[in-house]
Amino acid sequence: MSNDQKTDLQKLIDKIKNIDTAMMTTADDEGSLRSRPMRNMQIKEDGVIWFFTGYESEKTHELQKDAHVNLSYAKPDDQLYVSVSGRAVVSRDKAKIDELWNPALKAWFPEGKEDPNIGLIKVTIDKAEYWDSPSSAMVHLYGV
């Protein structure tokens, strides 16, 4: 990663770190685009964003056929909007699940991190953009 990319990524992290939920958009077999709220688990300096998911779920099936994903972040009170374009991989990486697990996740995985259907979505960022006032033009970040 170049220094410019590092600076951009840090800017992106600063924008989204206080927005705990992203809308994740995926394409289904017919090209129809669906989104759903996803609790943001971790965004790191390596440009990867992690989410928990049911390992078998509609979105993981969609991602296995077409890995493209958009994450949108909205904080209407601050007029802040962020778009992240990337590619997703679905995994069951035990060590990563341990690292990211927290008890609040029991709302989705009542059996805890031993839930047989627990999985992770790892999004690698290709491109990001943000808007932080209604009249401002978009700001490109990262890999344009």
Ligand X SMILES: Cc1cc2nc3c(=O)[nH]c(=O)nc-3n(C[C@H](O)[C@H](O)[C@H](O)COP(=O)(O)O)c2cc1C
Among 12, 16, 52, 123, binds ligand X (CB under 6 A): 52
Q: Return the one option of its own copies, ligand X, none that residue 93 interacts with (CB less than 5 to 8 A, by type).
A: none
Cα–Cα dist 129/141, whole Å: 5
Q: Which is nearer to ligand X, 95 or 107 (CB)?
A: 107
The answer to the question of residue 35 lying near its own copies (CB under 8 A) is yes
The answer to the question of residue 116 lying near ligand X (CB under 6 A) is no
**Tokens representing residue 27 in the block:** 């394409």
Binding part of the chain for its own copies, among 2-10, 34-42, 46-54, 92-100 by CB under 8 A, reads 34-42
**Burial of 12: CB neighbours in 10 Å, binned 0-12, 13-18, 19+:** buried
Cα–Cα dist 142/112, whole Å: 36
**Burial of 135: CB neighbours in 10 Å, binned 0-12, 13-18, 19+:** exposed
The answer to the question of residue 114 lying near its own copies (CB under 8 A) is no
Cβ at position 40, least distance to ligand X in Å:
8
Cα–Cα dist 26/86, whole Å: 11
The answer to the question of residue 102 lying near its own copies (CB under 8 A) is no
List interacting residues with ligand X (CB under 6 A): 21, 36-39, 51-54, 57-59, 79, 81, 108, 131, 134, 138
